[in-house]
Amino acid sequence: MDSEAFDRAVTRHESRALDFLEALVRQPSHLGHEVGAQEVFAAELADLGFTTTVLPFDDGLADDERAGVLQDVPGPRQNTYASLTGELRSSLLLHGHIDVVPASTPELWASDPFEPRRDEGRLYGRGAGDMKCGFAMATLALRALRDVVPDFGTWSLGFLAAVEEECTGNGTLSAARQGVLADAVVAVEPTGLDLLLGGVGIVWVDVTVVGRSAHAEAAHLAVNPFDLLWELVADLRRWTAELSAAERDPVLRDVESPYNLNVGVVSGGDWPSSVPGKATARLRLAYPTAWTPEQAEHEVAARIARCAAASGRFPQPPQVRSSGFRAPGYHLDAEHDLAVRLRRAHQAAHGREPAAYALGSTTDARTYIRYFDTPAICFGPTAANIHGIDESVEIASIAAGARTLGRFVADWFEEPGGART
């Protein structure tokens, strides 16, 4: 490939990539509402010469022990897949997730979270960083490659826009069950232009506790279930801190607190002057790669039961229910051919090697590594405040990432082989 011509093509098409990103951000593609963004993705890939296919969820997910807990949502459960050859299997698969987390406090943002805003070299909006910027980076690389590589249209290249990466991983699992697989996968997650190789295990659990309701006048004689929840949460925080200190996975040596607990949603009660009868907390907990999801769920439930029994204040044992992720930890070796090739491409594009790291979180790369014996890696632009207020992406990092990704993809098809282990 003529690298200089490719770089000029990236510059030429950068504006279109940013327009595409803005079109994606305008679609509030949170759980159950992903179709609009999927249609934007499909139109862009069709313009690049890809054949696009809508893949409804596989009916067998409900019986697959690898799946997360099925979500009860209003919209259709489907992925969108694009391929240059029209085949489900490819040599190389680009992967992104089209779903975003909610932005339920828009009044705290500097601007509407679903109306993209450019300011001082950044583009703001929910999903701009996690991870619609990755779609913009990848399509920019593909459009530039199409300009300079005559046989681009013959490559065995696929691109999956999956759903439910943010809650179950079932979108990617469903697509893989249906045959959307490859010799290697690059997930275009926001990695700061470095190589994300792995992550911890994650489970979601809902914990419901029953108190003893009463009029507020007699609150000192009642048992408020929120007080009981805080007891459990405090004990779980102690446990996860102990776990982070004791389970020092060398892959996570640079992660200060890998096994975090997050209280994401709390509900209960119906009147300010009534002590509630019950309350529920929705929790996200991380756990070591050596554990299975079943072991993690057992350990969490056992810890909660011991805490409640030792307290003596719980009228009934807490109820613990799995509610989303049942995701194992994962890791790709830094010297795997896939990582080596991507590192070499970045060196060629930018004159420096990218760092390699793991996180105290997860990505859909785990599905390929843990369940389908397929190497997978994450690489993408530089984002800030993902899942938070005023989420954004550094605009320059989109083109910078495209220069790396394009060189990697061209190298992959010019020198195939050696990627599958």
119-154: pLDDT as tens digits: 999 999 999 999 999 999 999 999 999 999 999 999
d(CA 287, CA 294): 11
Q: How confident is the model at residue 248 (pLDDT cuts 50, 70, 90)?
A: confident
Report how far residue 352's alpha carbon sits from residue 64's, in angstroms, rounded to the nearest whole number: 43
Q: Is the pLDDT of residue 417 over 60?
A: no
The tens digit of pLDDT for each residue in 215-241 reads 999 999 999 999 999 999 999 999 999
Mean pLDDT of 208-219: 97
DSSP 8-state assignment for residue 71: P
One-letter amino acid of 36: G
pLDDT at 74 over 90: no
- 351: alpha, beta or left? (left if phi > 0; alpha if psi -120 to 50): left
> Which residue has 């601007």 as its token pair?
111
From 199, 208, 207, 307, select the one nearest 259 (Cα to Cα).
Answer: 199
pLDDT at position 420: 33
Q: Which of 337, 385, 362 is nearest to 252 (CA)?
A: 362
Q: In angstroms, rounded to a whole number, what is the distance separating the alpha carbons of residues 220 and 213?
A: 11
End-to-end, the C-alpha distance of the chain in Å comes to 27
Residues 6+ apart with CB under 8 A from 268: 225, 226, 276, 278, 279, 280
- 3-state secondary structure at position 55: strand
Could you tell me if 173 and 165 are in contact, meaning their C-beta atoms sit under 8 angstroms apart? Answer: no
Q: Which residues have C-beta within 8 Å of that of residue 266, sequence separation ≥ 6?
A: 226, 229, 279, 280, 281, 282
**Extended beta strands in 88-219, E state:** 90-97, 117-119, 122-124, 157-162, 182-187, 195-199, 201-210, 214-215
**Once rounded to an integer, what is the mean pLDDT over residues 169-197?**
98
Task: Please give the mean pLDDT across all residues of the chain.
Answer: 96
Q: What is the pLDDT of residues 384-398, one digit of tens each?
A: 999 999 999 999 999
Examine residue 137 and say whether the peptide bond preceding it is cis (omega within 30 degrees of 0). no
Note the pLDDT of residue 421: 29
297: phi then psi, degrees, rounded to nearest 5: -60, -40
For residue 90, pLDDT beyond 60? yes
Q: Assign domain 3-199+329-414 to a CATH class.
A: alpha beta
Alpha-carbon span 249 to 270, nearest angstrom: 44
Mean pLDDT of 84-92: 95
Residue spans of the domains in the chain: they are: 3-199+329-414, 201-327
Task: Give the C-alpha separation, 153 to 155, whole Å.
Answer: 6
Contact 340, 220 (CB under 8 A): no
Q: What percent of the chain has pLDDT over 90?
A: 95
**Spatial CA neighbour of 181 closest among 79, 88, 58:** 88
Tokens 């509030």 locate to 28
pLDDT of residue 416: 55
In this predicted structure, what is the pLDDT of residue 247?
A: 78
Residue with tokens 């999927």: 38
The closest alpha carbon to 59, from 82, 32, 77, 80, belongs to: 77
Q: Which residue has the tokens 């790396």?
A: 404
Percent of the chain with pLDDT over 70: 99
Sign of torsion over alpha carbons 82, 332, 324, 31: negative
- For residue 420, give the DSSP letter: -
pLDDT of residue 76: 85
pLDDT tens digit sequence for 4-47: 999 999 999 999 999 999 999 999 999 999 999 999 999 999 99
Q: Which CATH architecture has domain 201-327?
A: 2-Layer Sandwich (3.30)
What pLDDT, on a 0 to 100 scale, did the predictor assign at position 418? Answer: 40
Short-list 47, 53, 138, CA closest to 87? 53
